[in-house]
Each structure stands twice: as C-alpha cells, then as structure tokens.
Amino acid sequence: MGVVYSAQDPAIGRMVAIKSIRLGDLTDESERARLRDRLFREAQSAGILSHPNIVTIYDVSEEKSAEGGKAGDAGMAYVFMELVTGSSLDRLLAKSPPPNRQTLLKMFRETAAALDYAHKKGIVHRDIKPANIMLHEDGTAKITDFGVAKIVSQQMTQAGILMGTPNYMSPEQVQTTEITGRADQFSLAVIVYEILTGQKPFAADNLPSLLFKIVREEPTPPHQLNASIGEAIEIVLRRSLSKSPDARFETCTAFIDALETAMKSSAWVPLTMAADSTSPPPETLAETSGATATEPPPAEAVPAPEPVKTEPASAKPKRLFIGLAALLGLFIIGGGTFYWQKIHHLTPPPPPEAAATITTPPPAPSPVAPGENAAPEKAPSPAAVTEAKSPATASFRLTTNPAGADATFDGDPASRCTTPCTMVMALGRHTVVAQFDGYRDVERIFTLPDEPGLIVNLEVATGTLSVVTNPARLAVLIDGQEQTQKTPASFTLSVGSHKVEVIRGAEKQEFSVDIRDGVLTQKRITWN
C-alpha cells in the first residue's frame, strides 16, 4: 500500500505515524478518483473511533504529483495517526518462546473490546491479522489500520487485486457476501487458533486452494496439534470459526469470554509458530497484493548453508528436465490464478480428489481423455422443470425470511423464481442471488446434490447517521421519534430519507438526511 513514516508534529511536538498510500497503483483515472474519495470518507469515519485499544487517526490529506512527474505517479494520500511505541503481534509471535498466557489473554480481551466498539459505530475492520495488532511497550493492545485497510482492500479487490493476508479472511469475505462485525470475529479466532496450535487453521500451496478451504473445509482439531488444548476450548473455537456468521458468537467479547472460561479448565500452553510451508508462495502473494518488497528474515533465522555435494555428470540432464517441468508447472499455476482473479464471482476450486469435476478449463489446458472436463449441463429454466428427474439433476429448495424475494440462479434471467421455490438443476456448483426491496442483496454458492436447500435470512439495508453538536448532550428526534441517545451519538437507520430534529431548550434545528446502505453520514451542528 505504501510506506509508514515516523514524524514529529511541529505544532505541538508530538510524534505521529504517517501512512502513505500510492494512488498511482490504480492506472484507471475514474477508479483512482473513486478510491481517493472513499479513502477520505472512510478515514473520516474511522476518525470518530476514540478507544484506548484503537490507534487514533488525526488527519488525512493528499499530495498530487507535480507536472512532468514520472509515468504512473498520480500522487499520494496520507493518513496521520497515533504512533505506537512497541511491536506488532506478528513480530512477537515469530520469537521463541511466545508471549505468556496472561499477556495473550489480555491482548485477546482488549482486541475484542476495541472491535465491538467499532462495530457499534457501524465500522468493520475487514483485515484483522497479527500485523494489524500492535502491542504498546506498556502491554496495551492497539488495533491499527481501521478504515484504511477496509477501503483499500475493497477497491483493490474490485480492480482484480487481492489485498491483505488471505489466511485470515472470513468465508463471507471470500464469497463477497454481506460483511458484518462477525467477519472480524472470525479473523480474531484464526489468530487465537494460530497462537494455540502454532499453525494457521487454513493453509494451502496456492491461493485458490486456500480460499476453497476457508469456504468449505473445517480446520484440523486443535488438540491434534497441541495436546494441552482441552475439549472446551475446541468447542469455542469451532463456533467462532463457523462458516455461517449467524452461528458465531454475538460479539467478539462474548467469544473471548467463552474462550477464557474454557481455558480455565485446561493447562494450555501456546506453541511457537511453525514454518509457514503451506501458505501461498511469497511471490504469488506479492503479485496479488501489490506489495513491492518483502522484509528479509532476521539474521538468526537464516539457515547455515549445507555442504556442497557433487553429482555425476549423467545426473545433470535429468536435473535440467525436472527444472523445465517445474517452470512449466509454475507457468500453468500462474495462468490459472490470473484467470481465477478475473471471474466476477469468486468460486474456489474443489479439493484435489474432486479435480475431475472441474468444469472451468485453465487458459492453456493440456490434452485430456475424452469426456474429462466436459462442459457442464446448463441449468434448466423454470419452464423446463418437470417431476421426472434424471441422475444428472437434483432439486434445490430456496427459502428466504421474509418470503417473496426475487431469486436468480447462475446469473441467468430465465432461471428466476419467487421464494420459497424449488428448482431442478444440473449437478455441480451453482450461485443464487436473492433480492428484495429494502433488504441487502444476498449471494450464496451451493453444490448439488450435497446441498439440497438453503434458508437465507435477509438483512435490512441500513446506514449510520452520526450527529455531533456544540454544545453536547442535546436531544435528537428522528422521523418524529425521540431517541434515547444524546449528542454526540450514532444511529443505525434504514435506507432512505429521514427527518432529523435536534432540540436545545425551546430551539431546534431540522434537516433531512438520505441514508445509503453501509455508509456513515455525519452531521455537525453548532449554536452561536
């Protein structure tokens, strides 16, 4: 994303951190302008977060490139934030031994409290990982990159670039479905699992396989990796790592409360982080995340060179053949990853044992036996639904709450129905999008015949209104209803136009506000 500088505020002498963000990484001018506008708006939203465990954002600004600058130099955005004297969690975990139990539990609890506070303000981080959790020298945990990580990762993903560390993503982020605070809870649970077992719950040799595991596979039971972990801890982690957000805990604090209670029943010990041999290759992640360089390992982590071994001359041609084969394999994998990133709906590949059922060929397929990787049968339209079903089809039942949603299968307008409804479709993987006025669109991926039906709870489309007044503690009426909160306050409102009244004694100020889904709207009122 850029470079973080340590600087001194000349006005008051305090030390600050300045995060620079390269707007020029987006070559499309309209996309760059949209990123800039959303970055400023999101930084302003994150600026309202005043919590001892959240790095404070002071200001945001932009510096446009000078005339005649280098090609691609489209200026920089800068976010000015609190400077934390300490180390990030990922650096601490890389050390041996890891932090003690008390330090870890305190860090878990403070991180959870900060996340819940932000979620109540209508802000989801979306990129919780050890690198974004700082531990101050006094032991206080502080979450950084609120707002900045969210907006940049969203924009880069739309531009075909996957931002952040995929190992910590929630299933709903991978599937690009509705994101709530429970996505942050999932990421926090991944960190807890990694600290307790020394391994990430989801890891793979390439990015598509990793994302498939996040969406479809359960992690290895923790006690198999760390015998000191009791059954009670496993139950808590299993719930917080649920594929469905609704199955997780109500809040991050509720998750940590349950975890701490479970930990009292076992003499658990954290494990040192294992070598990350099953994560996507660094060069793959660097290409997909827009990273410019990777930090070299510490001197003590560099292994000593092994003794040089000689080999007979006859072995050299064999090694050359193996090397060429490896390069060809990397080329095919890279091409497949590039193609995968370009598809509109993210659909992770099936596991290796099901590879024969993949219906989307790679850019340069190798010759296959007749019938293998055959094109999938097109899903029938409602008119083609009959009582008789062949072995190549199965029924799928979609139910929504509330009922009456408009459902479209596989993006085909001919395959539409009004919920609750049943469709007969070809075996394999499908997508369905449910739409209902006043509610957020919901997209789901399912596989027939393994998943014969879904029950989807639709969420009301809402936004957040923040009202700040001078003087404070004034009453607020929204659509004629007096609110329990006094200013400054934030209100979650349904999408659409609302009438707002701010009362100060016998005086009042009125205004209308247009609430948009997932957007924070701020209003400041000052009485002379």
Q: What is the mean pLDDT of each run of 10 residues along the chain (528 residues)?
A: 83 86 70 71 72 86 60 67 88 78 90 92 87 88 72 45 68 85 94 92 87 91 88 91 93 93 80 54 34 33 36 43 48 47 42 36 40 41 41 86 91 91 91 90 87 84 89 92 89 91 90 88 86
Q: Does 462-526 match 391-457 at the fold level?
A: yes
Q: Are 233 and 258 in contact (CB under 8 A)?
A: no
CA pair distance 446, 439, nearest whole angstrom: 21
**Tell me, what's the pLDDT at 144?**
85
User: 462-526, superfamily in CATH?
Assistant: Carboxypeptidase-like, regulatory domain (2.60.40.1120)
Is the domain spanning 86-263 CATH 1.10.510.10? The answer is yes
CA pair distance 80, 14, nearest whole angstrom: 12
CA pair distance 281, 383, nearest whole angstrom: 47
Rg of the chain (C-alpha set): 26
**Tell me, what's the pLDDT at 329?**
53
Tell me the domain boundaries of the chain: 86-263, 391-457, 462-526
CA pair distance 494, 514, nearest whole angstrom: 10
**Tell me, what's the pLDDT at 231?**
86
Among candidate residues 429, 454, 217, the one with its CA nearest the CA of residue 343: 429
Q: Are 93 and 200 in contact (CB under 8 A)?
A: no
**Tell me, what's the pLDDT at 66?**
53
**Tell me, what's the pLDDT at 476?**
94
327: exposed, middle or buried (C-beta count within 10 Å: 0-12, 13-18, 19+)? Answer: exposed
User: 391-457, superfamily in CATH?
Assistant: Carboxypeptidase-like, regulatory domain (2.60.40.1120)
Residues tagged active-site? 127
CA pair distance 174, 191, nearest whole angstrom: 18
